[in-house]
Amino acid sequence: MSRISKVESRLRTEQDAVQDHLYANRLRIYPKSVRGKVRTIKWAILIACLTIYYVLPWVRWYRGPNQPGQAVLLDLSTERFYFFGLELWPQDIWLLAGILIMAAVSLFLVTSLMGRVWCGYTCPQTVWTDLFMWIEREIEGDRNERMTRDAAPLNADTIWKKFLKHGIWLTIAFWTGGAWIMYFVDAPTVTVDFWIGDAATPVYVFTGLFTLTTYGLAGWAREQVCTYMCPWPRFQAAMLDDQSFTVTYQAWRGEPRARGKRVEGAPTAGDCVDCSLCVTVCPTGIDIRDGIQLECINCGLCMDACDHVMERTGQAKGLITWDTLARQAAKKLGKHEPIRFLRPRTLIYVSALTIAVIGLTTALLTRSTLGLSVLRDRAPLFVPLADGSLRNGYTLKIVNKSQTNGAFDLSISGLPDAKLAVAEGDPTPSSTVHVLGSSDEVKTFRLLVTARPAALTDGSQPVDFILRDTATGAQTVYHSVFMGPVGYSGGAH
């Protein structure tokens, strides 16, 4: 018995043994390397994703003096989110919620069209696991070599190679954890601070945390994350139907599987030569020939593997291919079934997505950088004055989300001859007050409004506060009320 078959038979015994137990040992998976169209696409996506992740924090963006110069920055300490030319305040958090909703609906749409392509190609768990497996392969060799090595007693070469592998894994994990932090603090600054010990404690804590999770999840946990931890495989079935494209073994063509050469005119054997190559390349260690299953991340590596076999045995490629359940059922009967991308399910997802995109874009484009909110004093509700007029106090907040200092005119409408005065400022009241609002700031002040409303039948009347940017003419209005004694009419006895 060869080494490899010994390992394989041990795995088999383990697999049988678990059946009677409450707890199962993990079945070790040694994915074999594979080349092909799918693998090339997967490499390209992997490189693109990782490049974006590691490089994005280093992209600079000039916003003006004393402003953060990082293109993408989630600045928690000053409560500002920066995305290139866009600056979001905590008040805009619903935009972020909208983006997340859009992401979720896009995921539903893609899944209903193409199955779990997110899992197979772009999920960080897949991307980093793929990267870590590549490093493992480069150091310890391909499937057979790794299996032999693990079955053999430890020797110097194995120890050195494992040491090297974990070292590189940890380095990448550390780099990953560090890059994560750079989305929250200025990248060049934190890089220097980190090494001279000047960075804030959370920087070290989170870098350490993400180093460990990256190392643990991509190096050790791998497919266990997809199978046992991730909720997505559990409810993906709700998005799939028999018109969704998934990685499919064409059983009608492959079965009955049989080893050996295909002889012309001997119709008993199907196209599958039962070489198990599709199983050995699978990163989750399953057999696609069993049909759609929870563990399959739709990566398509088994397609590449099988295509090689088909080439070698001189049969048509695509025994394992992208297809739908409905088309497979039709093909089995020798019929043709058209591809249906437009179905009620996908149309609902598309329209939800369209609404979300239009809504968000409109909200973003019409988003005002000037805001006014008015809070009426609750005690006293109003102050009668010696001359018979009434005074109401309000607390105003002027929000200036722009990058320029603003000068504003504040006036009131609906209350003839009202006199305004800033409580802590110039005590001479006038019909309009001038307020300065620094860039990127909320200015809060108390405003005293003195007036003689003609009739307060029920003790209050509506008024509008109007804030106008003197430079741009932009205007915002806040509805409030002016109060006094019930039945007040101009303060005459």
Partner 1 sequence: MPTKIEKDAVSGRDTTGHEWDGIKELDTPLPKWWLYTFYACIGIAFVIFFLYPSIPYGPGYWHGVLGYSQRKMVDAEVAKLTAIRKVSLDKIGSLSFEQIKADPQLLEVAMTDGRITFAENCQPCHGAGGGGHIGYPALAAGSWLWGGTLDDIQQTVTHGIRSGDDDARNSAMPHFGADGLLKPAEIQQVADFVWSNFYGHKTEGQDTSAGAKIFAENCIACHGENGEGNRVVGAPRLNSHIHLYGDARETIVAQVTLPRQGVMPNWNHRLDPATIKAVTLYVHALGGGE
- Of 383, 389, 394, 399, which is closest to residue 476 (Cα–Cα)? 399
Find residue 445's DSSP bridge partners: 396
Distance from the Cα of residue 38 to its chain's centroid = 24
| Nearest to partner 1 of 277, 292 (CB atom) | 292
The stretch near partner 1 (CB under 8 A) out of 18-26, 60-68, 98-106, 187-195 is 18-26
Q: How far is the CB of 216 from partner 1 (least distance, A)?
A: 11
Closest to ligand SF4 by CB, 111 vs 461, is 111
Which of the choices partner 1, ligand SF4, none does residue 297 contact, using the CB cut-off of 5 to 8 A by kind?
Answer: ligand SF4
In the numeric block, which tokens belong to residue 180?
Answer: 């994560």
Place of tokens 């001359």: 387
Q: Interface with ligand SF4 includes 298 (CB under 6 A)?
A: yes
Angle of helix 37-55 versus helix 124-140 axis, rounded to 10: 110
306-315 contacts at long range (C-beta below 8 A, 24 or more positions apart): 306/277, 306/278, 307/36, 307/37, 308/34, 308/35, 308/36, 308/277, 309/273, 309/275, 309/277, 310/271, 313/261, 313/262, 313/273, 314/262, 315/262, 315/271
* Segments in 223-372 forming alpha helices (H): 223-224, 232-235, 251-254, 277-281, 301-312, 325-332, 344-365
The Cα 366–Cα 4 span in angstroms is 65
Is residue 367 a contact residue for partner 1 (CB under 8 A)? no
| Site for partner 1 contains 238 (CB under 8 A) | no
Q: Are 73 and 85 in contact (CB under 8 A)?
A: no
Measured from the CB atom, the residue of 25 and 405 that comes closer to partner 1 is 25
Output the smallest distance, CB 317 to partner 1, in A. Answer: 28
The per-residue DSSP string of 330-362 comes to: HHHTT---------HHHHHHHHHHHHHHHHHHH
Show the site string, 257-286: x = touches ligand SF4 by CB under 6 A, - = not.
---------------xxxxxxx--xxxx-x
Task: Name the segment binding partner 1 (CB under 8 A); options: 37-45, 193-201, 375-383, 408-416.
Answer: 375-383
Residue type, 316: A
Q: Does 423 interact with partner 1 (rule: CB under 8 A)?
A: yes
Nearer to ligand SF4 by C-beta: 275 or 357?
275
Here the tokens at position 388 are: 């018979």
302 touches ligand SF4 (CB under 6 A): yes
Residue of the chain from 64, 256, 359, 380 that contacts partner 1 (CB under 8 A): 380
Q: Which of 73, 131, 269, 299 binds ligand SF4 (CB under 6 A)?
A: 299
| Range list of β-strands (E), 111-257 | 246-249
x/- map, 209-248, ligand SF4, by CB under 6 A: --------------------------------------x-
414 near partner 1, judged by CB under 8 A: no
Q: 319, 398, 410, 467: which one contacts ligand SF4 (CB under 6 A)? A: 319
Q: How far is the CB of 300 from ligand SF4 (least distance, A)?
A: 5
Which one among 1, 2, 19, 333 touches partner 1, defined by CB under 8 A?
19
Positions touching partner 1 (CB under 8 A) are: 18-19, 21-26, 224, 228, 290, 377-380, 383-388, 391, 393, 423-424, 427, 446, 448, 491, 493
